[in-house]
Structure 1
Amino acid sequence: MPLYPYLQELALTDNYRLKTFQRTQQMKMMDPFSPFSQLTTLKVERMENLQSLSEVLTSLISLKYLSVGECPKLKFFCDGIQHLTCLQELQIRNCQELVDIYDDGEGNMWQALKSLRILEFSGLPRLETLPDGLQQLTSLEKLSLCRCKSLVDIPQWIHNLKSLQELHIWGSDKLTSLPKEGMRQLTSLHTLTIGDCLFYSCDEDFYRLDLQSLRILEFTNLPRLEALPAFLLQLTSLQELRLHYCNSFVGIPERIFDNFRSLLQKLDIWDSHKFTSLPVEVMHQLTSLQHLSIRDCPNYDGGDGNEWQALQSLRFLHFEDLPQLETLPAGLQRVISLNKLTLDCCKSLVGIPGWIGNLKLLQDLTISGCSNSLTSLPEGMRQLTSLQELYISHCLFYKGDGNMWQGLKSFRILWFSDLPQLETLSKGLQQLTSLEELRLYNCNSLVGIPEWIGNLKSLRTLTIWGCSNLTSLPEGMRQLTSLQTLSIRDCPVLKQRCERETGGEDWHKVSHIPRLYLFGAQLQPSTSSSARGKIFKTVRRLQLCNK
């Protein structure tokens, strides 16, 4: 292996490279720097015969990032890392036989890691508890324990990790509780994630955790979680609450947000099959809520509308895969702070109400995968004077009433994707003089682009993909003097007509566009040999792969 004394990043991915690496470590150099003395990043992966890290960790005095993964025979870990005094991040993943991550009982090995900020143990089936020496990692900010199936407890001494800000625990089937006294002293902890565990039938002390600094709490795939625990009442700093894939979750108790009604900013409820609604009393307390996402909840119908009136800070609303949702809740029209609305895979949605025009601050609207009954947008859309982006996909939407486009003076981005009924573009679109980006994906019934497209004087990007029946472009394309990029893909006839080399009939309509992409190939003026040589003078990183 060449002697690179200034090498900073290295990945070892098989046993042959390991031997070469070791031989290089043993060499003496005339340069004042020894081999790898400047190395800051080392990844050791898929070493089938590696049994001890002492074979690798020698003279790596500058190492800051170490990742060890998928080494099936690795059994001994501690020896060698006591010299990594600059180490900031350590990851150990998918080492099935790793049993020795402990030390001499006095923590001397871990004590040397004064700079360690991030520690991840993942896929270590033999890990039963945390090494006692870890309590000396006073600089540790993030601790992740993932898929450690034999982990049975978190020691009380975790409170010694005074700098700990994030704690993530996933897939530890035997872990039934967190240490009450140890957790309450983690005064810097702001993020707690618990997933794939059986916590909530085991330990009532967990309900009484006193985490005054906690800002983000996530529960994921907890099959026994039916309601939020009472300890949430003590989390006066909580800003984000995420409930993902908790199929037994029924709802939120009315008094749960009493103490922090003005602080919670983000609420996610995903894949909770028994969840039916948010109580009016709860919604009225969420006066600071800015982000609400409800996804894959088959029994949720949006409520009667009254509960939405208090959400005067709501900016982002995401509804996805809600089969009971037939229309938007009427109370939503009073949430005038809303900036972004996403409706995805709501199969029963029959229409967008005309009052959507009351959402004067709405900037981004996405409608995707909704029912066959949704074929157009209401005329009230014209009142959305702040709307900048509209995405419509996988619907039977055909083109919309031309009048609805008149008031959209701020409009910049329009996407039509997978619209089988779209045959042409609505005449009203020519009024979108501020439009900068138009994308047409998989609209197989689209047979023509109107001549008036030349009126879109601000258009900079036009993408046409998968529109197989579109066979030509209009002369109006020549008027698009601001157009910088035209991309055409999976449109065989149109592609041929736009080719310069074959004298395509539409080439004169697109020849003025600086970046023209046909099937992924960019057409541009030929480059002289001297110009090509200059291209590589600024290259800083080059990777060639056998693909």
Structure 2
Amino acid sequence: MPKDLMVKPIRTLFVLSNPGSNRIARVISSFKCLRVMKLIGLLSLDALTSLAKLSHLRYLDLSFGCFEILPSAITRLKHLQTLKLFHCQHLKELPGNMKKLINLRHLEIDKNNRLTYMPCGLGELTMLQTLPLFFVGNDCEESRQKRIGRLSELKCLDSLRGELRIEGLSDVRGSALEAKEANLEGKQYLQCLRLYWLEQKDSLWGTRTETAEESEEGSEAVSVMESLQPHLNLKELFIANYEGLRFPNWMMDDGLGSLLPNLVKIEISSCNRSQVLPPFGQLPSLKYLDIMQIDDVGYMRDYPSSATPFFPSLKTLQLYWLPSLEGWGRRDISVEQAPSFPCLSILKISHCSSLRSLSLPSSPSCLSQLEIRDCPGVTFLQVPSFPCLKELWLDNTSTELCLQLISVSSSLKSLYISEIDDLISLPEGLRHLTSLKSLIIDNCDSLPQGIQYLTVLESLDIINCREVNLSDDDGLQFQGLRSLRHLYLGWIRKWVSLPKGLQHVSTLETLELNRLYDLATLPNWIASLTSLTKLSLEECPKLTSLPEEMRSLNNLHTLKISYCRNLVKRCKKEAGEDWPRISHIPEIIIRE
């Protein structure tokens, strides 16, 4: 280190690579006026025993360190305000006397570590504003010897703001008093609260008989959750692996909208003992709702009266892995009575095997994206039309549903169809999809007829359509694609040559052929693809040569050949038989 620096009152020092313990010790002893120090990726903490000499230090960043225990010497930094410990993957323990850091405002730590508890006395750091992660320690004998901090450490930390993630709530046993002492309801500056119990087993893969011990744990979890009611200013709530037999009264109350009027986002995940969801539709500010991996929920919620708004602000609704879900509510309703969702723009439903029908908004004027995956029982949606729908994803659904949704979605720009084996032809309504620019057909037994009507289509992917054979096609399927720029053909057998109709697609810029196992030749008419700029050939084992007409592709900028064993040798630079046909291409990538 330059000597002239050693005598200057340096206040900020960033060390972005591990320089070794001895050098760090010299730095610390040389720069005693430091206010800000970053030591990124530190391998050893031996040198940090001299940290106490930095009496003016306010900011210390030890992120990406490889240490297991943070030395107690750090707690002598009386003026320290910020301590960052991001991505310290080996970290097991914080100093037991953390409470000595009386001016600490920001303890920034993430989930990428091996911590299992927080130190006792952390709750005395009443100036703390940032604490993204808090571990509730196990109350076993070993833990008591280490003087672990309990959930009640949060009691006086009322200046906390931003996000608080509480891990290990399964270890809060016997009484709700400890949870009540955390005083979450008094933390008015918190924006996001994440509550995590231990990950549950045996969910989604069949039911089993609940033991008496598990039943007791479920009752305790409800008591704990009753005491974790947040402040009404909260904007985001995440609950995962909740063990309760039901959600707490404050969540099930019909006045939930007044208890959490500012809540914008909710995520409920793996709460497998609960059978009834809270009345989230009452929340006036809720925009994002994700519910996933709950085995026994059969209905979202009974519908409110027509005078009561239902999800008045909701923009995104995602329902994943709800095997017992049958519908919104228990009673049958008409389209006119369906929940309004006046602001809903994204709806995603996946792996809801019991779902048979769904009543969607009678005027879904805002819905722009709809995904239905692995819901083979749904044959009909009660909806008149989707005038503003731009993206439609259908994966392992019924043919009836696919045809219905396409016919009522006149503004589609992107359509994805997968695993609809008996889909033979697309509906006549396809002619009216005058805005469709992207179409992906994946894992369908046959290629639906009707693609020729998509005159503004720019991107087409045909993937793993096992029975498709267009080698002798008269070209009608492709002749109408006057705007096509990208074509991907992959995982298809029986194609000895490319469909003849492709020669009429003069706008094509990118052609990707992947795993066409029976493709033997590229056609001579490839020269008619005058706009082609990229050609990719991957795992086409029977392709033995490139046509002479490759010379005519003057706009071809990139040729990629991967794992086509017969072509590799022929396309070898200078020596290969096909090299003169491709030597004009600026970028050639060959992988053996």
The two structures share one fold, judged by TM-score above 0.5:
yes
Alignment check: 8 A CA contact 1:42 1:67 kept: no
Write the distance in 2 (CA, Å) between the matches of 1:81 and 1:351: 70
Query: Match for residue 344 of structure 2?
Result: 289
Query: Match for residue 334 of structure 1?
Result: 408
Residues 344, 238 of structure 1: alpha-carbon distance in 2 compared, 3 angstrom cutoff: farther
Query: Match for residue 353 of structure 2?
Result: 298
| Equivalent of residue 120 in structure 1, options 111, 133, 149 | 133
Query: Match for residue 489 of structure 1?
Result: 562
Query: Match for residue 271 of structure 1?
Result: 321
Write the distance in 2 (CA, Å) between the matches of 1:170 and 1:344: 35
TM-score (norm 2): 0.71
Alignment check: 8 A CA contact 2:232 2:261 kept: no
Deviations 1:233-260 (A, max 9, x none): 3212222222222222323346269624
Write the distance in 2 (CA, Å) between the matches of 1:177 and 1:413: 57
* Aligned-pair CA distance for 1:462: 2.2
Write the distance in 1 (CA, Å) between the matches of 2:457 and 2:223: 48
Q: Does residue 432 of structure 2 align to residue 358 of structure 1?
A: yes
Query: Match for residue 91 of structure 1?
Result: 110
Alignment check: 8 A CA contact 2:318 2:349 kept: yes
* Aligned-pair CA distance for 1:438: 2.2
Q: Does residue 267 of structure 2 align to residue 196 of structure 1?
A: no
Write the distance in 2 (CA, Å) between the matches of 1:368 and 1:290: 25
Q: SS where residue 165 of structure 1 aligns?
A: strand
Deviations 1:367-391 (A, max 9, x none): 3233xxx321222x23334433322
Structure 1 unmatched ranges of 5 or more:
12-16, 521-547
Deviations 1:62-110 (A, max 9, x none): 765634433345563726765665x58422555355341543x5434xx
Write the distance in 1 (CA, Å) between the matches of 2:76 and 2:464: 54
Alignment check: 8 A CA contact 2:132 2:163 kept: yes
Sequence identity (%): 23
Deviations 1:395-436 (A, max 9, x none): 213347732333434433222221223332222223333333
Write the distance in 2 (CA, Å) between the matches of 1:72 and 1:37: 23
| Equivalent of residue 67 in structure 2, options 16, 31, 47 | 47
Write the distance in 1 (CA, Å) between the matches of 2:553 and 2:458: 20
* Aligned-pair CA distance for 1:458: 3.1
RMSD between superposed Cα atoms in Å: 4.0
| Equivalent of residue 131 in structure 1, options 147, 153, 166 | 153
Structure 2 unmatched ranges of 5 or more:
40-59, 140-148, 174-178, 200-216, 355-374
Query: Match for residue 382 of structure 2?
Result: 307
Greater CA deviation, 261-270 or 151-160?
151-160
Q: Does residue 271 of structure 2 align to residue 222 of structure 1?
A: yes
Q: Does residue 427 of structure 2 align to residue 377 of structure 1?
A: no
Alignment check: 8 A CA contact 1:308 1:331 kept: no
Query: Match for residue 14 of structure 2?
Result: 7
1:436-447 → structure 2 map (5 Å cutoff): 436-447=509-520
Write the distance in 1 (CA, Å) between the matches of 2:137 and 2:113: 6
Residues 351, 511 of structure 1: alpha-carbon distance in 2 compared, 3 angstrom cutoff: same
Write the distance in 2 (CA, Å) between the matches of 1:57 and 1:68: 21
Q: SS where residue 439 of structure 1 aligns?
A: strand
Write the distance in 1 (CA, Å) between the matches of 2:136 and 2:518: 50
* Aligned-pair CA distance for 1:185: 3.3
Query: Match for residue 144 of structure 1?
Result: 165
Query: Match for residue 462 of structure 2?
Result: 392
Residues 480, 161 of structure 1: alpha-carbon distance in 2 compared, 3 angstrom cutoff: farther
Alignment check: 8 A CA contact 1:211 1:234 kept: no
Query: Match for residue 24 of structure 2?
Result: 24
Query: Match for residue 37 of structure 1?
Result: 37
Q: SS where residue 164 of structure 2 aligns?
A: strand
Query: Match for residue 262 of structure 2?
Result: 213
Whichever residue aligns with residue 69 of structure 1, its letter is: Q
Residues 457, 234 of structure 1: alpha-carbon distance in 2 compared, 3 angstrom cutoff: same
Greater CA deviation, 242-251 or 140-149?
140-149
Residues 504, 487 of structure 1: alpha-carbon distance in 2 compared, 3 angstrom cutoff: same
Residues 202, 160 of structure 1: alpha-carbon distance in 2 compared, 3 angstrom cutoff: closer
1:399-478 → structure 2 map (5 Å cutoff): 399=470, 402-478=475-551
Residues 350, 405 of structure 1: alpha-carbon distance in 2 compared, 3 angstrom cutoff: closer
* Aligned-pair CA distance for 1:45: 5.3
Whichever residue aligns with residue 325 of structure 2, its letter is: F
Aligned length: 496
Which of 1 and 2 has greater Rg? 2
Query: Match for residue 506 of structure 1?
Result: 578
Residues 393, 95 of structure 1: alpha-carbon distance in 2 compared, 3 angstrom cutoff: same
Residues 226, 179 of structure 1: alpha-carbon distance in 2 compared, 3 angstrom cutoff: closer
Alignment check: 8 A CA contact 1:285 1:310 kept: no
Whichever residue aligns with residue 506 of structure 1, its letter is: D
Residues 306, 29 of structure 1: alpha-carbon distance in 2 compared, 3 angstrom cutoff: closer
Residues 27, 129 of structure 1: alpha-carbon distance in 2 compared, 3 angstrom cutoff: same
Write the distance in 2 (CA, Å) between the matches of 1:432 and 1:57: 73
Write the distance in 2 (CA, Å) between the matches of 1:375 and 1:122: 53
Q: SS where residue 43 of structure 1 aligns?
A: coil
* Aligned-pair CA distance for 1:163: 3.9
Alignment check: 8 A CA contact 2:394 2:416 kept: yes
| Equivalent of residue 298 in structure 2, options 213, 236, 250 | 250
Alignment check: 8 A CA contact 1:326 1:349 kept: no
Write the distance in 1 (CA, Å) between the matches of 2:155 and 2:298: 42
Alignment check: 8 A CA contact 1:382 1:408 kept: yes
Query: Match for residue 142 of structure 2?
Result: none
Q: SS where residue 292 of structure 1 aligns?
A: strand
Write the distance in 1 (CA, Å) between the matches of 2:488 and 2:549: 20
Deviations 1:136-191 (A, max 9, x none): 434x22222345542563756324444433323333476436767975633251x3
Q: SS where residue 404 of structure 1 aligns?
A: helix
* Aligned-pair CA distance for 1:490: 1.0
Write the distance in 2 (CA, Å) between the matches of 1:47 and 1:177: 38
Write the distance in 2 (CA, Å) between the matches of 1:37 and 1:83: 17
Query: Match for residue 237 of structure 1?
Result: 285
Alignment check: 8 A CA contact 2:163 2:192 kept: yes
Residues 73, 65 of structure 1: alpha-carbon distance in 2 compared, 3 angstrom cutoff: closer
Write the distance in 2 (CA, Å) between the matches of 1:36 and 1:262: 47
Write the distance in 2 (CA, Å) between the matches of 1:133 and 1:98: 16
Query: Match for residue 146 of structure 2?
Result: none
Write the distance in 2 (CA, Å) between the matches of 1:499 and 1:35: 61
Write the distance in 2 (CA, Å) between the matches of 1:193 and 1:275: 21
Residues 185, 420 of structure 1: alpha-carbon distance in 2 compared, 3 angstrom cutoff: same
Write the distance in 2 (CA, Å) between the matches of 1:477 and 1:261: 58
Alignment check: 8 A CA contact 1:207 1:229 kept: yes
* Aligned-pair CA distance for 1:518: 0.9
